[in-house]
Copies of this chain bind each other. A is one copy, B any other.
């Protein structure tokens, strides 16, 4: 049976590429991915057939990959982060449908977790990840999730916090969280996590909108116990003061 690997390479790509990911790619006849990923992989796999996928839609990329697999090739699609988190894995299963092809997901470190490591230890306890992109999800469902996550004192990790088409959703999300949390609640913003041009701010709900937030950012909002110490954002493992909720 033909085989497709969906390979998450972690946000830093080569520096986060696991032996499992490397072995999967070594097993491929063809590797498909964005130009920047393919260029990085060229050093690891100098003789491999690699295809730069360009800026085609994700559905088209999955269809192209399926077509190659049905020709008999073992194909790998590489993506940054974890392909199972707002990534291509689910889509590839959907596109593959009833076809006679095996789809294998190779996990990678999600952007949320790399971002957390940059900030210190802000996740640590129960957390919720929410994408503010309403391309495929109704905005009211997104805001409802922000509201419920804030109400239940989850650490909140926002993906896709801002883009040109939706500059204000992050402001609304912040306003919702402020219904439940103090204005001095720590907030971490990591831009280009794991990349050469990585940068970050540790700020507060009060001040977060004065920091740069763009489509390459992950925003982590602390829970009621999160604090900042020596420039690190830390969420304790538990509630030492039991009964706080």
Write the residues of chain A forming the contact surface with B, with a CB cutoff of 8 angstroms: 10, 12, 14-20, 23, 82, 84-87, 89-94, 103, 105-110, 113-114, 116-117, 120-131, 135-138, 140-142, 144-145, 147-149, 151-154, 229, 232, 234-240, 242-245
The DSSP consensus for interface residues of chain A is mixed
Contact B234 A141 (CB under 8 A): no
* B20/A16 in contact, CB under 8 A: yes
Give Cα A164–Cα B137 distance, bound, in whole angstroms.
40
Across-interface contacts of A19 in B (CB, < 8 A): 14-17
In the complex this chain forms, how many copies of it are found?
A: 2
- When the two chains form their complex, are residues B234 and A93 in contact, meaning their CB atoms are under 8 A apart? yes
Q: Which residues of B contact A10 (CB under 8 A)?
A: 18, 107
Contact A89 B136 (CB under 8 A): no
> Which of B16, B94, B116, B154 is within 8 Å of A84, CB to CB?
B116
Partner of A109, one of B12, B108, B116, B245: B108
Q: 3 tightest CB-CB pairs across the interface, nearest first?
A: A136-B238, A148-B152, A90-B121
A145–B103 Cα distance when bound, in Å, is: 33
| Distance (whole angstroms) from the CB of A97 to the closest CB of chain B | 8
In the bound complex, residues from chain B placing their C-beta under 8 Å from that of A128 are: 126-129, 149, 154
Q: Cβ of B124 and Cβ of A234 under 8 Å apart? A: no
| 30 contacting pairs across A/B (C-beta < 8 A) | A10-B107, A16-B18, A16-B19, A16-B20, A16-B107, A17-B18, A82-B109, A84-B116, A84-B117, A86-B237, A91-B237, A93-B120, A94-B234, A105-B117, A106-B117, A107-B113, A107-B114, A110-B110, A110-B113, A126-B129, A126-B145, A128-B128, A128-B154, A136-B238, A138-B244, A141-B152, A145-B154, A148-B149, A148-B152, A149-B154
